[in-house]
Amino acid sequence: MTAFIDPKSVPQRKLYTGEYIPGIGMGTFGSDRFTPDQVSAAVAGAIEVGYRLFDCAAVYGNEDLIGEVFQAAFDKGTVKREELFITTKVWNDMHGKGDVLLSCAKSLRDLHLDCIDLFFVHWPFPNYHAPGCDGDSRNPNSKPFSVDEFMNTWRQCEKLVDMGLVRYIGMSNMTIPKLEAVLPLCRIKPVAIEMELHPCFQQPELFDYCIAHEIQPIGFCPIGSPTRPDRDKTPDDVADIQVPELVEIAKAHNVHPAVICLKWAVQRGQIPIPFSIHENEYVSNLKCTTEDPLTDEEMAVLKSIDKNNRLIKGQVFLWEGANDWEDLWDLDGTITK
């Protein structure tokens, strides 16, 4: 029999609106390694075992199949629509006037939904690269971040809320300088920021900034994305699940190190969105949030292993005149132009 983890036993997070949402979800980015069919089959299995939050995106190229899975689950009565919290994201080539609505309409159609729970701006600039392109490829039309351009995109997202097509809006791949520039201009505040978060990349300043502004951090690559495409790997990257202190804690709890990454994430307060097509993995990823918590001492050890190791560097979004990928992340505290 398939395992079932009661969604009521899974930790919840309170949004600034007062609504509670699941404290862990499932990612759906199959990338080069997993086919859309494998990803949608995993989503079907994940609903059955008790996942209630799914992180989708137009650019993942699988929303149509995932939508069929949602529809089948609603038809079968496995889950009611209002029991799921579904996010999606507008891709960089759909930031222009009128395009955000088109992107949202396509995601709604593909996902078989009347309303999206949380709609993200995937990256804060319209710099487009074709899925699967080489890490060295550059788009000559790429531009540095512009507050005006971003706000034009955000205004369209706000309109989606007004129209009842999405319930909440959020931002992804932001930095503190960019948030400082745009938050005061928002009519509707982002309810969440999606950002890379794993034990070797804890982003404490950005995480604390979000908490201080009552914006929920959602952590991507929570296990250190071991299956990300080779083009996103560099020789300096550290594998979270091989860090000795983390492996030691995993041994003490008799679990895979991946599970320790997720316990840490949930106990710290972000919402991790691990991905896996393997039932044993996605079951243990959800179950681990309901039992055998890490001790304060273990949380302190994990806090100390941060290596500031960003995995998704975003180099394919660089514009002409930019130095290197660090320019995307405003490391000197100002927006890099």
Amino acid at 125: F
Interface with ligand NAP (CB under 6 A), residue from 103, 284, 309, 315: 284
As measured in angstroms, the least distance from the Cβ of 129 to ligand NAP is 13
In 3D, which of 2, 22, 34 has the Cα closest to residue 118? Answer: 22
By CB under 6 A, how many residues form the interface with ligand NAP? 29
Which region holds residue 16: left if phi is over 0, alpha if psi is between -120 and 50, else beta?
alpha
Contact residue for ligand NAP among 312, 325, 330, 336 (CB under 6 A): 312
The residue whose Cβ lies closest to ligand NAP is 27
Q: Does 273 bind ligand NAP (CB under 6 A)?
A: yes
- Is 122 labelled as part of a ligand binding site? yes
Given 5, 55, 142, 271, the residue binding ligand NAP (CB under 6 A): 55
Contact of 269 with 216, CB cutoff 8 Å? no
Rounded distance, CA 301 to CA 1, Å? 37
Stretch of 10-18, 45-53, 128-136, 226-234 lying at the interface with ligand NAP (CB under 6 A): 226-234
Q: Which of 50, 67, 170, 222 binds ligand NAP (CB under 6 A)?
A: 222
Binding status of residue 117 toward ligand NAP by CB under 6 A: no
> Residue from 96, 132, 226, 333 that binds ligand NAP (CB under 6 A)?
226
For 5, 46, 206, 277, 279, the CA distances from 2, given in Å and listed in that order, are 10, 10, 38, 15, 9
Residue 160: both structure tokens together: 């989606």
Contact flag: residue 281 with ligand NAP (CB under 6 A): yes
Contact between 202 and ligand NAP per CB under 6 A? no
Kindly identify the residues of this chain, within the stretch 168-197, that bind ligand NAP according to CB under 6 A.
172-173, 194
60 is catalytic: yes
Report the alpha-carbon angle 167-173-174, nearest 5.
90
Residue 220 engages ligand NAP in binding (rule: CB under 6 A): yes
Under rule CB under 6 A, residue 116 binds ligand NAP: no
Residue with tokens 């960019």: 178
Question: Burial of 79 by CB count in 10 Å (0-12 exposed, 13-18 middle, 19+ buried)?
Answer: middle
- Which is nearer to ligand NAP, 127 or 321 (by Cβ)? 127
Is 40 a binder of ligand NAP (CB under 6 A)? no
Residue for token pair 């995106």: 57
Please state, as a whole number, how many other Cβ atoms lie within 10 Å of the Cβ of residue 92.
20
* Residues facing 194 on adjacent strands: 172, 218
Strand ranges inside 103-241, DSSP E: 116-121, 166-172, 192-196, 216-220
Q: Exactly one of 51, 60, 209, 282 is catalytic; name it.
A: 60
- Does 306 interact with ligand NAP (rule: CB under 6 A)? no
Question: Which of positions 129-168 make contact with ligand NAP (CB under 6 A)?
Answer: none
276 binds ligand NAP (CB under 6 A): yes
Of 13, 95, 178, 228, the residue at the interface with ligand NAP (CB under 6 A) is 228
Q: How far apart are CA 288 and CA 276, in angstroms?
A: 15
- Residues annotated as catalytic are 60
What is the binding site for ligand NAP (CB under 6 A)?
A: 27-29, 55, 122, 172-173, 194, 220-228, 256, 258-259, 273-276, 278, 281, 284-285, 312
